[in-house]
Amino acid sequence: MPDGQRRIVVTGATRGLGRAMVERFIEAGHQVAGCGRSADAIAELQRKYGALHQFAVVDVTDDTAVAAWAKSVISTLGVPDLLINNAALMNHVAPLWQIPAAEFNSLMQVNIIGVANCIRHFVPSMVDRKSGVIVNFSSAWGRSVSAEVAPYCATKWAIEGLTQSLARELPRGMAAVPLNPGVINTDMLQLAFGEAAGRYGNANAWSHAAAPYILQLGPAQNGKPVSVEAW
């Protein structure tokens, strides 16, 4: 592997912040493995970026599928230097008692269990090597609350605690970091903010500040909640 090149795994790579990060990391010369649930979007990424990178259709809530994906990535590209757990869902805004059970459960599955599944299957190889950074995407709503987004808040508060606990379990030289990406005009923000989401910058603009910031995270930030200041 060329000096300075890093192996980066990104979940939720087919749209929004994930897709924008993939583009910036590849432009910077890094090797990327990404996953998403849209077969068409995954195929387009693979066509665009070629065999040096690996994109796969994976449901992160399926532990067996994540295990197979991690095994494939590690055997073909190598042990990740950076694991970014970005895949997440937002609830439709409503009082908690009006959120259907299926919607509430989906958020728990993707936003928490999906992260745990990826940690379970990628991190052991990183621990064996005693190097690497795990970045779990949190939110301002993982450190504060608002009405009508209780399910989302619950998941992101969970990510804060999960990540800070994981940080205490890692060997010296590694890091687990909960990252608040800031407020960006994505499909998820539009679901929460409606037309007001248009007041904020888009994922592509955000990624030009965020990707370099994420790449510089390391042991000094282990367990420390951080935020991207893109605007």
- Rounded to 10°, the helix 114-129/63-76 angle is 30
Contact 7, 81 (CB under 8 A): yes
Catalytic residue among 49, 152, 200, 213: 152
Q: 230: helix, coil or strand? A: coil
DSSP state of 2: -
Active-site residue, 152 included: yes
Distance CA 190, CA 184 (A): 9
For residue 119, give both structure tokens.
Answer: 């940690």
Task: Find, among 152, 147, 148, 139, the residue nearest to 225 by Cα.
Answer: 139
Which residue numbers are catalytic?
A: 152
